[in-house]
């Protein structure tokens, strides 16, 4: 199978892999996860090779994903830090928006139903709290309740390359219990990198940049429209 970019097309730095960058194994793992997410085939096998650092400082991971009825080549390009994905290539074209987390892949978009999409802008009645972990711990257990069109933001500071895990459970309701959470990256108030109403109530995501992340809890459907209340338990960790 032909590689997307051959070894001959890459110039590896004479000094070797930069000590300040993440390891090739980190990039391979992150690239594999991103590719499975792109195709929404989370159990598909991926084979990957670290091809080196180009003369412009970016790193290349080439690979193949084995889908149910076919195999597809792909490539992930990372910035010099070895953490920030700057481009994703598959199916004969580049998907830079997907790489940066600002656009869905066509497979993700096809699976997303309009009725299950969270509001683009926060509804009225929002509240917020800053989450601080106890010394020596990497997680917290949170609880509360959301009513109708209200929402609640939990803010957590994290660093690029860390992994955030979130698990949401209903704890009592006078409605249907349709509560979800989104994860918003630093600087965003509407574009989410994880949308619970589409992706479920458990998330494990690699964080692409340093800064404050928001975990936004909200109701949908009849619970939101008829002013029902849903209690919740929320487990959050960052490692």
Collapsed DSSP state (helix, strand, coil) of residue 32: helix
CA distances from 191 to 49, 101, 121 (A): 32, 9, 9
Is pTM beyond 0.95? Reply is no
Residues 6 or more apart whose CB falls under 8 angstroms from that of 52 comprise 7, 10, 11, 12, 13, 59, 60
Q: Residues 9-29: pLDDT tens digits? A: 333 333 344 444 578 999 999
Q: Residues 77-136: pLDDT tens digits? A: 999 988 889 999 998 899 998 888 878 887 776 655 433 333 333 344 568 888 888 888
Q: Residues 33-69: pLDDT tens digits? A: 999 988 888 889 999 999 999 999 999 999 999 987 7
Extents of the domains making up the chain:
7-111, 114-238
Residues 6 or more apart whose CB falls under 8 angstroms from that of 199 comprise none
Query: Taking the alpha carbons of 218, 30, 33, 58 in that order, is the dihedral positive or negative?
Result: positive
The CATH number that domain 114-238 falls under is 2.60.120.380
């Amino acid at each position: 199978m032909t590689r997307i970019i051959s070894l001959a097309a890459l110039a590896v730095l004479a000094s070797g892999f930069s000590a300040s960058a993440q390891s090739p194994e980190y990039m391979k793992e992150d690239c594999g996860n991103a590719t499975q997410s792109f195709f929404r085939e989370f159990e598909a096998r991926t084979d990957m090779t670290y091809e080196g650092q180009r003369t412009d400082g970016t790193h290349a991971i080439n690979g193949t994903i084995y889908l149910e009825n076919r195999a597809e080549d792909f490539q992930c390009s990372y910035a010099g830090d070895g953490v920030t994905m700057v481009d994703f290539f598959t199916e004969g074209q580049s998907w830079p928006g997907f790489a940066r987390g600002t656009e869905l892949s066509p497979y993700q978009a096809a699976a997303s139903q309009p009725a299950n999409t969270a509001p683009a802008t926060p509804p009225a009645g929002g509240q917020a709290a800053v989450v601080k972990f106890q010394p020596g711990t990497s997680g917290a257990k949170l609880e509360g309740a959301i009513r109708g069109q209200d929402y609640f933001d939990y803010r957590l500071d994290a660093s690029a390359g860390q992994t955030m895990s979130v698990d949401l459970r209903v704890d009592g309701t006078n409605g249907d219990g349709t509560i979800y959470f989104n994860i918003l990256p630093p600087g965003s108030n509407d574009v989410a990198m994880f949308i619970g109403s589409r992706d479920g109530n458990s998330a494990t995501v690699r964080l692409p940049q340093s800064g404050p992340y928001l975990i936004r809890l909200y109701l949908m459907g009849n619970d939101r429209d008829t002013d029902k209340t849903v209690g919740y338990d929320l487990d959050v960790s960052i490692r």
